[in-house]
Every structure is written in structure tokens, then in C-alpha cells.
Amino acid sequence: MKNIFILAGNTLKILFRKKTNVVVYIILPILVVCGLMGVTASDKASNVYMGVVDNDNSNFSNDMLDFLKNTGKFSVEFVDEKEVNEKIASRNLDFAFIIPDSFEENIYNGKIETIKIVSIKGEQVTILIEEYTKFYLNNLQDIYIASKGSRELFDKIYYGYEDNFLKFNSQFVEDKVSNKQSTQISIGIFIMFMMIACSTTAGLILKEKRDRTFYRICAGPVKPREYVSSNVLVNILIVFIQIVSVLFVVEKIFKFETYVPVIQMLIILMSFGFAAVGIGMIIMLLSNSSFSSYALNSLIVIPTCMISGCFWPRSIMSKSLQKIGYFIPQTWAMDAITKIQMGNSFDKIRINILILLAFALVFFLIAIYKIKQNDDINTYV
């Protein structure tokens, strides 16, 4: 045990002797996460550009569009239906909102139609308009039910507010959906940095093999598994420093809102950190050169982060990719963060934490098995 701590201390000295490593391991993740959150904060008031195709042009369709405009969330531009795909593809519009013909007539008949929304940006953009539209159409459905099919009574209820027949109290509330999604992506990018840091630190063993330092160390009273264990200890310490540093700067200095209590975020990220360390060790143990280590790192880290929803919502991916994501630890970390942001208690994510720790345990067991296979220094290459 003493050898492990001595080797870990020596590895830390070697790592942070270079100032560039301090930048890569600590400062760069802080800058990236804070930068992404800062951009999100500065864009809070920015509108979404919505193209409108009103095939009905009725009182109901015009009133619904006025309702959407008054939210202050959308910049409306009327377009021809033939231009929709071109304008969305050229990024002139975020999405198109297509109102079908006979919209008003169908409302009077209790047939509330779903508004067609066309977008290439996925749920992150369309979810807001879908929720506003759903709210408005549900109100129309309730009025139809109350009027019992009578058009005259429907109009009396619908237009009653003009004669003070109905009175409404309104209150503006802050829309946090887009902020939460941007926070998730920021944390997802940080998770990627954690994985890269773990595989890079584990890669030091390959470097010391190449320089023959590893063999000189193991020629003494140090066993190969003790040497690897010291590397694991260093990795865990670096992950902890990264997490604490990022959370401190985000929460205490810049005061960005993550919508997750600090302690809970620390537990989630640290649980994933153990799994990330295990992945880094497996990459190192399966590699016989620095080149193969970099190749495996590229093949594992980026693709798994994509599938697990670190860069974008998993809901925009196909069902098959979403199912594959359940076998990736990042998915469970991102899911835990999302659940807390949606107002769930910590009890709801205990299964996520246990699954992350199970991933870590499996990875460490695989690493231990591989180390034992190569415990003889003559075959540990």
C-alpha cells in the first residue's frame, strides 16, 4: 500500500510539473463549461425565428398566432409552404408552423388538429412551440366540451372576455427549458473532458513502458498491479479536482444556475468519474503503443458521448441508438442530471448512481483480470 501512495505522489509531480497539464486538466474544462453557460445566459432573451403557413386564415388561427407572438418567444414570418424546406435548410428559420385548412371548422366540430411543425434542429427548438400550442388547443377543446357542440355558446364563451363575461389573470413566468438543456450539454462536454483526462493519465503507463521507466520500477519491490493501482488513484484524484473546480467556478464565482444542488451534482459526476477511470484503464491495458491508445480513445470516447446525449438530447436519435445508450455509463449520468432538473428527488436517481458504480466495478474487474494475466513483468508488454 505504501508503494502505491509513493508512486501516486511521483506521478502527480510528473504530471503537474508541466504548466500545460494544469491548463489541459483543470483550466480548459472550466473555461469551456463556463463559456457555454455564459453564451446560454446571454441568449436568454433571444427569439426563435418561426415561419408561419396559415392555410386557414381564420379568426382562430389569427388569434393563436397573436397568442404566440405575445409570449415574446417567437419572431413570426409568414412564408409560402413551398419555401419552407429551403428557408429551414438555409437556417433563415428555426422551424415552420403550418396551420391546416378547415382549422376553424374542425374546432367548432371538436376535431382539434395537431399543428404540423417542420424543423431540422430537433426537440430543443420545437418543444417550446409544442407546449404553447398544446396549451392553446387544449383550451379550445375545453371550450368545445363546455359548449356541448353549440357553436353559438362556443362563440359566447370564446369571445366573452371582450364583454367582461370572462376575466383572466395572467402572470409571466421564466421559461427554463432551454436553459436546462444548455446546462445539460455543458455538463456533457465536461464529461467528455473527464474521460479524455482519465485515458490520458492512464496513457502515462504506456509512455513509461516506451521509455523503459516502467521496467526499472518493477525490477524493484514494486509489482505491476501496484504501479497500475497508483495510476488509478491519481486518476480518481484528478477527476475529483476537476469536478470540484468546475462546480466552484460555475456556482460560486459566475453564479450560473445548473438546476441541480451542488452536492447532488458532485455525487453524480464523481460516480461517473469512477466509471471513466475504469474506461481509461481498459483502453491503456488493451493498447500496446501510444498510437493504439489514441486510436482506441478516439473510437470510444467521442462516439459514446454522442450516443449517450452529452452533445444533444437523446430524443432526437433513433430508437435503436437510444437502446444502445443504456449500455453506456454517460447515459445514466446525463439521465440523473435531467431527472433532478425536472424536479425529482435524489431518491429517484439512486438507481442511476448504482448503475454508474456497477459500470465502474465491471471495468475495474476487467482491468484487474488483465493485470493478473500480465503480472509477470516479462510478459507485461
Q: In 10 A of CB 19, how many CB atoms?
A: 9
* pLDDT for the residue 378: 42
| Co-location of 28 and 154 in the same domain | no
Question: What confidence tens digit (pLDDT) does each residue in 55-74 have?
Answer: 888 888 888 888 888 877 77
Boundary (domain end) residue, out of 141, 163, 185: 163
Using CA atoms, how far apart are residues 133 and 115, in angstroms rounded to an integer? Answer: 8
| Co-location of 217 and 321 in the same domain | yes
3-state secondary structure at position 95? strand
Domain-located, residue 305: yes
Domain-located, residue 100: yes
Helix or strand (DSSP H, E) at 281: helix 262-285
3-state helix, strand, coil in the chain (%, to 5): 70, 5, 25
Domain-located, residue 169: no
Q: Grid cell 398544446 — which residue?
A: 134
What is the pTM for the complete model shown?
A: 0.66
Domain-located, residue 171: no
Query: Can you say how many angstroms the Cα of residue 248 is from the centroid of all Cα atoms in its chain?
Result: 20
| Co-location of 182 and 238 in the same domain | yes
Domain-located, residue 24: yes
Using CA atoms, how far apart are residues 187 and 337, in angstroms rounded to an integer? Answer: 9
* pLDDT for the residue 335: 92
Question: How large is the average pLDDT for residues 171-190?
Answer: 72
| Co-location of 246 and 311 in the same domain | yes
Q: How confident is the model at residue 230 (pLDDT cuts 50, 70, 90)?
A: confident
* pLDDT for the residue 85: 84
| Co-location of 221 and 276 in the same domain | yes
Question: For 36-40, 54-58, 237-241, 355-359, which range has the lowest pLDDT when averaged over its residues?
Answer: 36-40
- Helical residues (DSSP H) of the chain, grouped into ranges: 2-17, 19-22, 28-42, 59-70, 84-89, 103-108, 123-147, 151-158, 177-202, 204-210, 213-218, 224-248, 262-285, 290-307, 319-325, 329-341, 350-373
**Contact between 117 and 98 (Cβ < 8 Å):** yes
Q: Which domain holds residue 223?
A: 2-41+177-373
| Co-location of 13 and 64 in the same domain | no
Boundary (domain end) residue, out of 111, 139, 163: 163
Cell of 7: 508512486
Using CA atoms, how far apart are residues 187 and 170, in angstroms rounded to an integer? Answer: 35
Using CA atoms, how far apart are residues 177 and 172, in angstroms rounded to an integer? Answer: 15
| Co-location of 189 and 157 in the same domain | no
Extended strands (E) in 240-373: none
| One-letter amino acid of 39 | V
| Co-location of 221 and 341 in the same domain | yes
**Contact between 99 and 61 (Cβ < 8 Å):** yes
Domain-located, residue 380: no
Higher pLDDT, 261 or 114: 261
| Co-location of 263 and 210 in the same domain | yes
Cell of 349: 436517481
Domain-located, residue 142: yes
CATH of the domain at 131: 3.40.1710.10
From the list 217, 358, 228, the residue with the least C-alpha distance to 280 is 228
Give buried/exposed letters for 124-147 (b at 16+ CB in 10 A, else e). Answer: bbbebbeebbeebbeebeebbeeb
Cell of 48: 426563435
Mean residue pLDDT of the chain comes to: 80
| Co-location of 89 and 226 in the same domain | no
| Co-location of 214 and 301 in the same domain | yes
Domain-located, residue 378: no
Question: What confidence tens digit (pLDDT) does each residue in 5-55 have?
Answer: 877 887 788 777 877 878 888 888 888 888 877 766 555 445 678 889 988
Going 230 to 231 to 234 to 239, the CA torsion angle's sign is negative
Domain count across the chain: 2
Boundary (domain end) residue, out of 163, 186, 221: 163
| Co-location of 229 and 366 in the same domain | yes
